[in-house]
């Protein structure tokens, strides 16, 4: 199993029956492949689709059916199509229970940077700016460290922010960490890692949950 798949499979546990969920670009889109058939969950996309299914197999690719990241998707029975304006009305109106977003950096206070790197060309801000303030709960999923091996969970973000103090939970390939008023709380440690491994790869200090789970995923 790849690191991306490992993170996506763990993130699926954040989805609960009856939830309306928005999945961000990148690793979050993979979560759709792991949703349990026992859960009644509806996936929403900013470009106007309610009822996204898993990634299409090669024989089911429809170039006209895409998500907000311009990736081809499938639609479940009963899916609805509508304007982007209506889609953002859902988000801004507080009708999305959970948004799972990718991240470049997350701070100890729950600030999120995930939309641009200075000096690099980007297509635009995207819907994350609305999602971080409109969704009821924000979960960020990402690698624990960057390609240079440096922490992505920092005391303060160095990249332009998407939102301030909006992240509720961080899920990485190594750990699950909650953002609390008292500080970052280590909730789960992934298989193959120790508490000291996680602390060594995280810039802010970590509190330990009383129910901390080792080898959790």
Q: How far apart are CA 190 and CA 174, in angstroms?
A: 5
pLDDT along the chain (217 residues), means of 10: 94 98 92 93 95 90 90 93 96 98 97 89 81 98 97 97 97 98 98 98 98 97
Among residues 171, 156, 49, 158, which one has the least CA distance to residue 110? 156
Torsion of CA 20, 25, 28, 29, to 10 degrees: 80
pLDDT in tens, 46-96: 999 999 998 898 998 999 999 888 889 999 999 999 999 999 999 999 999
- Catalytic residue status for 203: no
CATH architecture entry for 3-213: 3-Layer(aba) Sandwich (3.40)
Catalytic residue (one of 5, 14, 46, 71) = 46
Provide the 8-state DSSP code for 147.
T
């Amino acid at each position: 199993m790849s690191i991306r798949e490992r993170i996506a499979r763990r993130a699926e546990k954040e989805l609960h029956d009856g939830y309306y969920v928005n999945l961000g670009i990148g690793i979050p889109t993979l979560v759709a492949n792991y949703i349990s058939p026992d859960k009644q969950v509806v996936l929403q996309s900013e470009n106007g689709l309610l009822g996204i299914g898993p990634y299409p197999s090669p024989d089911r690719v429809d170039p006209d059916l895409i998500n907000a990241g311009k990736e081809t998707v499938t639609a479940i029975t009963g899916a609805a199509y509508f304007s982007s304006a209506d889609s953002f009305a859902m988000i801004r109106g507080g009708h999305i229970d959970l948004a799972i977003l990718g991240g470049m950096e997350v701070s100890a206070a729950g600030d999120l940077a995930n939309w641009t790197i200075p000096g690099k060309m980007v297509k635009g801000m995207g819907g994350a700016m609305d999602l971080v303030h409109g969704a009821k709960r924000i979960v960020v999923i990402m690698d624990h460290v960057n390609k240079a091996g440096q922490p992505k969970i920092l005391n303060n973000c160095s990249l332009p922010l998407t939102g301030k103090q909006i992240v509720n939970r961080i899920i990485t390939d190594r750990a699950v960490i909650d953002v609390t008023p008292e500080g970052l709380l280590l909730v789960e440690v992934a298989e193959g890692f120790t508490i000291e491994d996680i602390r060594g790869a995280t810039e802010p200090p970590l509190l330990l949950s009383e129910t901390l789970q080792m080898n959790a995923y």
